[in-house]
Amino acid sequence: MSDRIFIGKDTDGKVQELLLNKANRHGLIAGATGTGKTVTLQILTEGFSKAGIPVFCADVKGDLSGLSQAGSTRHKLHDKLIARAEKIGLSDYSYSAMPVIFWDFYAKQGHPVRTTITEMGPTLLARLMNLTEAQEGIMTIAFELADDENMLLLDLKDLRALLNYLVDNKDEIGRKYGNVTSQSVAAIHRKLLTLERAGAEGFFGEPALKLKDLMRVHEGTPDSDGDAETLSLEDLDGAHMKGRGVVSILAADDLINLPSVYPTFLLWLLSELFEELPEVGNLDKPKMVFFFDEAHLLFDEAPKALVDKIEQVARLIRSKGVGIYFVTQNPSDIPDSVLGQLGNRIQHALRAYTPNEQKSIRAAASSFRENPNLDTEEVITDLGVGEALVSLLDEKGVPGIVGRTLIRPPASRLGPVTKAERKAVMKDSPVGGKYDTPNDRESAYEELAARDQAAAEAAEAARKAEEKAEHAEGKKQTQSRQRKTPSSRKKRSTRKKDNVIMEQIKYEGKLFMRREGRRILRGILGAMMRR
């Protein structure tokens, strides 16, 4: 298997190739609308997949779904694609499909992607809901409390129940964890409602996405074991897929309308990968590659702390064998601290209408290692569609000399799948049975409801006990003919009731906690074992 991905050929006649052992040094694909960014993402994804590397990408416009289908001689651009392949000396150009798993937060265009509230954590949730500092503080308290009390937070109704509990017990909780105000909790509730209205309810719950399902390699079909080289130009039978990295495509067209959800989810994914993957140092090829399309959404209005976190994760995740590729219109959309870490660069055409745009062109042009034959600043605005300034890391890890490069045509389909094709891919998917049905096991919501129930039952028991006692007492009093005023009797009986209720609650509570504690422990152990 090749140790590099063919990207294209530049005007100096040099073949531009991405070295797989440098692919974890991250990358950037930039360019104005319609200049060829998505197709570049597509050919890179094909290259990684063919090299057995799983890829994750978000499909903002639906056009990446074509990766799941082989290109076709009947495609309207077939002749152009062949001509392009010939022009750049791509002698073994053939059409072929990649193994794809479709995912979708809304469970419409793919298998549902879910995570639990606990896994997302208070910081990312705060970002997701746009919480103020004070509200984030309350969220942190809620998580600490849930931890201390072994309560599982799976979905939004768990979070709601816990927030209600926080308000109901705010004095006691305030003494132990810090101040909780009803107003702040009410504000969080309102933001939760906004999130729910935007359709985010389905994001949270189980079965939660397992990273290993994003890191699959296609196992091939049992009855066929073909080899890509020996198949015809239009190999549609899927036999060639064995050993290819599975491409996870997240439908992101709706998601993009939820600006905070998209970056938060991607960040969550990265931090999960970071936590779960071991250090591996330098590998022959990355373990996994991520493409973040519309990367500006990650950084728009992001507080500095968050940018710092992205910068840190990007820096550290390299040594875990993960490559991240940002795709965006303009490199200036990405903060310098992150941009500085993107070693492999493909810059499509930029437009220069305003002084600001001219400035960012100058910046983009000067970020490349100089080529004496090229005036990068001039070329950037002159590049054709599917053409780019390319500079990739060489064997020593140094950025290669920039070349004006015609990018190779894709092997998979240029353009989106039909509904029927998507359905067929999903039907064959190895993960459908695992994620398609939600599973609502017992968690904070049920637990707090059970506590309420226990308290209500205790109150009822106490009431009965009191009635009985009063009855007995009443009898005694009648016998001795000593009448008491109704008010004093009421007072005493309420006090008595209080005591009985408290005792009962404590007793029920202890039983309940013991029972729940064991159950939760089993749940946690189970989750650990499954990893």
Ligand X SMILES: Nc1ncnc2c1ncn2[C@@H]1O[C@H](COP(=O)(O)OP(=O)(O)OP(=O)(O)O)[C@@H](O)[C@H]1O
Spatial separation of the C-alpha atoms in residues 192 and 194, rounded to whole Å: 5
Bridge-partner residues for 328, per DSSP?
A: 30
Task: Count CA atoms closer than 13 A to 504's CA, side-chain side.
Answer: 22
Quickly list DSSP for 280-324.
--S-SS-SEEEEETTTHHHHTT--HHHHHHHHHHHHHHGGGTEEE
| Partner interacting with residue 474 (select from ligand X, Mg ion, none; CB below 5-8 Å by kind) | none
Q: How far is the CB of 407 from ligand X (least distance, A)?
A: 4
User: What element of type H or E holds 30?
Assistant: strand 27-30
Smallest distance from the beta carbon of 423 to ligand X, in angstroms? 24
CB atoms within 10 A of CB 482: 8
**From the list ligand X, Mg ion, none, which binds 88 (C-beta under 5 to 8 Å, kind-based)?**
none
Smallest gap from residue 172 Cβ to ligand X (A): 54
- Write the DSSP symbol of residue 399: B
Name which of ligand X, Mg ion, none residue 414 binds, using a CB cut-off of 5 to 8 Å depending on partner kind: ligand X
Q: Which is nearer to ligand X, 313 or 390 (CB)?
A: 390
* Site size toward Mg ion, by CB under 5 A: 2
Q: Which is nearer to ligand X, 6 or 203 (CB)?
A: 6
Please tell me whether the peptide bond between 207 and the residue prior to it is cis, using omega within 30 degrees of 0: yes
Return the one option of ligand X, Mg ion, none that residue 371 interacts with (CB less than 5 to 8 A, by type).
Answer: none
Q: How far is the CB of 80 from ligand X (least distance, A)?
A: 7
Report the nearest approach of ligand X to the CB of residue 127 (Å): 26
User: Which residues within the stretch 142-171 sit at the binding site for Mg ion (CB under 5 A)?
Assistant: none
Q: Which does 218 bind (CB under 5 to 8 A by kind): Mg ion, ligand X, none?
A: none
Q: Nearest distance from residue 61's CB to Mg ion, in Å?
A: 6
Q: How far apart are CA 145 and CA 104, in angstroms?
A: 32
Nearer to ligand X, 125 or 297 (CB): 297
Q: In what order do the strands lie in the sheet with 55-59?
A: 15-19, 4-10, 403-407, 387-391, 344-347, 27-30, 322-328, 288-292, 55-59, 247-251, 100-104, 111-112
Question: Which residue's CB is nearer to Mg ion, number 58 or number 188?
Answer: 58
Closest approach of Mg ion to the CB of residue 58, in Å: 11
**Is residue 38 involved in binding Mg ion (CB under 5 A)?**
yes
Which secondary structure element, helix H or strand E, spans residue 125, and what is its range? helix 117-129
Query: Which part of the chain contacts Mg ion (CB under 5 A), choosing from 35-43, 216-224, 237-245, 463-471?
Result: 35-43
Residue 432 CA: distances (Å) to CA of 68, 112, 435, 485: 16, 9, 6, 71
**DSSP tally for the chain: helices H, then strands E:** 17, 12
Nearer to Mg ion, 38 or 184 (CB): 38
Contact residues for ligand X (CB under 6 A)?
31, 33-39, 61, 77, 81, 84, 385-386, 407, 409, 414
Helices (H), 153-280: 156-168, 170-177, 182-197, 261-276
Q: Are the C-beta atoms of 435 and 111 separated by less than 8 Å?
A: yes
* CA 246 – CA 332 distance, rounded (Å): 31
Q: Which of 410, 327, 345 minimizes the C-alpha distance to 57?
A: 327
Rounded least distance, CB 61 to ligand X, Å: 6
**Which residue lies nearer to ligand X by CB, 50 or 84?**
84
For Mg ion, the binding residues in 178-197 under the rule CB under 5 A are none
Find which of Mg ion, ligand X, none residue 525 binds, CB within 5 to 8 Å per kind.
none
Cβ-based nearer residue to Mg ion, 62 or 509: 62
Beta carbon nearer to Mg ion, 158 or 293 = 293
Which residues would be at the binding site for Mg ion (CB under 5 A)? 37-38
